[in-house]
Chain A
Amino acid sequence: MLIFALLLPWIAGSLWLLWLESFSPRLTGFNIPRILGYGFFLGNFFCASLLFLAHFLFGQLSFAAVSAMLLFLSCVGFLLAWQRTGYGKVSIRFSLPAMEDSGRKLALLIAVHLLFAGYDALNRPLLPWDAWTTWTYRAKICFQNQDLSSFVDAAAWLGTTAADTYTIPAHDYPLTVSLIQLWPSLATGTWDDRLAAVPGLFAGFALVLALYGQARSLKHSALLALAGGYLLISIPLLDAHLALPGYADIWLSGFAGLGFVSLLQWSQSKDRVQLFTGLLFLLLGFFIKREGSLWLMTGLLFALIQGLPLKLLAALILAMILAVFSGFSLVDLPGLGRLGYLDGDFYLPGVGTIRLQPQDASLAVLNNLFTNSSWNLLFYYVSTMLLLQFLPVSRQVRRALLSFVLLLSMVIATIFFLSEKGIWLKDSTAFGRLLLQVLPALVFALLIQWRAVFPRSQTSGNDGP
């Protein structure tokens, strides 16, 4: 039953991704690793949404009802994909690429990382703080009450006598990840911390699959695509989140991180399906964690920078500067909230207010990126990648990579250098996790740079654009 529960959302998500990718101008067939990688996250989002919907419709948490809806979604996804191929043969064959020795070693290293993380995740009780105070705690309460119990702030909780209303400090965080963690226990009918960890563990594998697929679409050889997957899975902080599951950051890495990967892919291939997938995943990230809205806005800006002609972009920036100096620095987005800056406060939809309060956090940033072992050598290579932009490289590559890293730096600067949240950097509690959310895109940016520096290293590839 557990395997059924884990595979069903994955299949549903992958079939819908298959349909979506059928709009892509393929050369030879579907990019199965990419579909499976992205499909895992989409499917789990379906699963959480359906749990919520089923509770709304039937007033209870029903495994059977949600399974039936997921099966229905899978059938619809398949029929849509089949219809796109003219009701012919849906070519989803995938054969493992012929690998030389180095490829086998890299695949083995990826497997070893997943094995170590998996062994820890499945053999120990829940460890990380926010897991047992927030994310998994809500799943446990919902399971034990067999109900979607509500969570409110302390003042509201003290004012009510409703037994099914609970309070936690992070009561306003989206419920999606908690529902994903609840699903395996709902399938087996018993609560177990270790069951709640299983989807998070699979998320690591799905991230590697998605990145491998995207690298193949860049026309990288299987070896280089595997190297990308290895770089990702061997990042120690990612390993920690796989071995000590319960936080939402790895899920946001699947939505915001892979969303940015798709946008970067679109910036190179101009495949509009990737643009749509990227924006869709960034939008879904909004329902994973509050930072999702930050990444959605960053993604929209990135898409604008890539999509608009430079002259129009410059005019737009000039207009924005003029608007700010004319006193129009704040807009009210209907249904989303305020966006902009006013009287020392930044307003971001979904995040709320960030008070302008400059912090001296540069040493903490350098220490986090370059001295401790959270990232292996990732930021040495990202820095080198930035330096290489000053050499003659393709304008398309330079525009994509520079704008991505600059936007990312702006987000970090706003949060950690200009706001009171800089204190989180000094005690290192949030900085690493914020970067983890876009980690797949940073690794993918390196793969794009590699292709630009060594164009001869690419192969014709057989996984489509």
Chain B
Amino acid sequence: MKYLRRFPMASSLLLALLVIICASLTVVYLREAPAAFSGQSLQIPLEAFSIVKGSGKRQPGALTVDGYTGGKAIISNLQGLKSSAAYRYVRFRLTPDKLIDTLPLFFWRSADTGKLHSMALEENLLDHIDLKQAEGWGGAISEYGFIFTESDGRSWHLQAFAFTPDTLTQALLNTLSDWLEFEVWSQHSINFIYGGASDKQLSPVVLAGSWVLLTLLIYSLIMWRKRQSLSTRKVAAVLLSGWVLLDTRWLLNLYQQMWLTHDTYAGKSLSEQYQAGLDAEYYRFFERIKKEVLPEAPQFIYVLDSRTAYFRAKTPWFLAPHNVFNVDSYPRPEYAKKGGFILILHPVPGLKYDPSTRSLRWGKKGNLPVSPVYLDPLGTLYQIRPPVN
């Protein structure tokens, strides 16, 4: 009590911190329900992995995959894992770690070798996986590894891999890792910021907010008991410290993002930047259509697609100033009147090109005379022909 009255702010800070730490430990313990307080991790040497599909090379401290067969590359540990139940998490270091759509970690169980189990890694959760969430994880695992899908000649480097046990220490380490997880700019960034991993057990914002408010509450009570007024500077310092603490984490994220932007885009022309990003293939496809097929004057273009809303929505941007309509799956009668081009990005079920009548046909009566003018794995461009009569 003597210290409380002598150093009211320092005591409040420490007391609040103690309360928050105890509360956090309780939450982690109750939520994660770890089996033990400590345990040994199982480091898997990179030599245990081999490239079973595609090609690559071994370098000091890394296994690199840079060649694909049939659009896929697989690295695998054929030695498997005998007692998988002893491990709850898998931690790994794989680069580049953020320019991916999906990256499945796969495994086969010895008990049912005919069934491939895979886990598509989620954005913002790329350095550890909770295997408790993985369907089928348990018993003896006969093989595990990563399946890479070819994308723009990208190479991958596996630098570390370890299974870690179900312990409180590990759960806390994972929580810390969740907080520091790099959150790359994506479509959600304009609407909300996760602040680390998307599915973390404990929010650093809640902890920092509770710490600051609890500190101020304790400090106010002490000063009230001492019949003294609050120190403006000390209150301001506490309010700012919680904020700065979270901002430091955010600045670290911005710093990492800046270097990712630098490495990916800096010093390039706009065209080169598009070719360095996730839209690269479609950007090149749209550029070819613009330069090689379409007239220079703006044309009417109708985009049909049944699979990806993203590229259908982005077609007008890439084909500008061409006049693009991207609302439909099937052609409408007005198309023939307006004329122009039809671009089919992904095959639309029930819609097909009939070479005998040189028309697109759908349903029982749907018919639109067209001529194919550009064929590409990413899409087909047809020019609408005026009706014969």
Contacts and interface: CB of A to CB of B under 8 A. Distances in A.
Interface of A: 109, 112-113, 116-117, 119-120, 123-130, 132-133, 137, 140-141, 144-145, 154, 157-159, 161, 163-168, 192-194, 224, 227, 231, 234, 236-237, 239-241, 243-244, 247, 368, 370-374, 376-377, 380-381, 384, 428-433, 454, 456-457
A227 B258 CA distance: 25
B63 to A, nearest CB: 30
Closest 9 CB pairs of A and B: A373-B195, A144-B321, A380-B209, A116-B254, A158-B334, A132-B317, A236-B193, A454-B232, A128-B190
B105 interface: no
Given A124-B261, A133-B314, A373-B205, 11 more contacts: A116-B251, A128-B187, A140-B317, A145-B298, A157-B325, A244-B185, A244-B190, A371-B206, A373-B194, A373-B203, A376-B205
Contacts of B317: 126, 132-133, 137, 140
A373 B246 contact: yes
B247 interface: yes
A372 B205 contact: yes
B188 A119 contact: no
Contacts of A243: 185, 254, 257
Contacts of B196: 373
B313 interface: yes
A431 B193 CA distance: 12
A133 B313 contact: yes
Interface stretch (B91-99, B127-135, B235-243, B346-354): B235-243
Contacts of B195: 236, 372-374
Contacts of B235: 454
B185 A240 contact: yes
Interface string B201-213: 0011110110011
A377 B313 contact: no
Interface of B: 185-196, 203-206, 208-209, 212-213, 216, 230, 232, 235-236, 239-240, 242-244, 246-247, 250-251, 254-255, 257-258, 261-262, 264-266, 270, 273-274, 277, 279, 297-298, 300, 313-314, 316-317, 320-321, 323, 325, 327, 332, 334, 337-338
B190 A247 contact: yes
A239 B321 contact: no
Nearest to A159: B334
A366 to B, nearest CB: 10
A123 B250 CA distance: 20
A123 B265 contact: yes
A457 B265 contact: no
25 contacts: A109-B244, A119-B261, A120-B258, A123-B273, A125-B265, A130-B190, A133-B314, A133-B317, A137-B317, A163-B323, A224-B236, A231-B243, A234-B247, A237-B192, A240-B189, A240-B193, A243-B254, A371-B205, A374-B193, A376-B243, A377-B209, A381-B239, A384-B216, A428-B188, A457-B236
Give the interface SS of chain A, mostly helix, strand, loop or mixed: helix
A164 B323 CA distance: 8
Nearest to A115: B258
B323 A166 contact: yes
A371 B196 CA distance: 12
Nearest to A120: B261
Nearest to A126: B317
Contact of B185 (A120, A428, A431, A456): A120
A130 B316 CA distance: 12
Nearest to A237: B193
B332 A137 contact: no
A227 B236 contact: yes
A233 B279 CA distance: 30
A141 B190 contact: no
A123 B261 contact: yes
Nearest to A149: B321
Q: Which of A373, A376, A429, A457 counts the most chain B CB atoms within 10 A?
A: A373
A158 B340 CA distance: 12
B114 to A, nearest CB: 38
A244 B192 CA distance: 13
A181 to B, nearest CB: 13
Contacts of B334: 158-159
Contacts of B274: 125
A424 B161 CA distance: 39
A132 B230 CA distance: 51
Q: Which of B251, B279, B321, B323 counts the most chain A CB atoms within 10 A?
A: B321
Contacts of B232: 454, 456-457
Nearest to B321: A144
Nearest to B278: A127
A370 B246 contact: no
Contacts of B251: 112-113, 116
Nearest to A247: B190
Contacts of B298: 145, 163-164
B262 A123 contact: yes
B262 A119 contact: yes
A176 to B, nearest CB: 19
B46 to A, nearest CB: 33
A442 B281 CA distance: 44
A120 B247 CA distance: 18
Nearest to A154: B327
B273 A124 contact: yes
B191 A430 contact: yes
Given A125-B265, A373-B246, A373-B250, A240 B190 contact: yes
Nearest to A433: B191
A433 B190 contact: yes
A133 B191 contact: no
B13 to A, nearest CB: 16
Nearest to A133: B313
Contact of A429 (B191, B273, B277, B321): B191
A117 B250 CA distance: 12
Contact of A371 (B203, B213, B247, B325): B203
Nearest to A140: B320
A154 B314 CA distance: 17
Contacts of A109: 244, 247
B14 to A, nearest CB: 20
B202 to A, nearest CB: 10
A376 B193 CA distance: 10
A57 to B, nearest CB: 24
A373 B198 CA distance: 11
Given A125-B274, A158-B334, A161-B337, A144 B208 contact: no
Nearest to A165: B323
Nearest to A157: B325
Contact of A236 (B203, B250, B297): B250
Contacts of B203: 371-373
Contact of A125 (B250, B270, B297): B270
A194 B270 contact: yes
Contacts of B187: 127-129
Contacts of B243: 231, 234, 376-377
A393 B386 CA distance: 77
A132 B258 CA distance: 22
B325 A154 contact: yes
Contacts of A158: 325, 332, 334, 338
Contact of B258 (A119, A163, A231): A119
Contact of B192 (A119, A192, A428): A428
Nearest to A137: B317
A350 B55 CA distance: 59
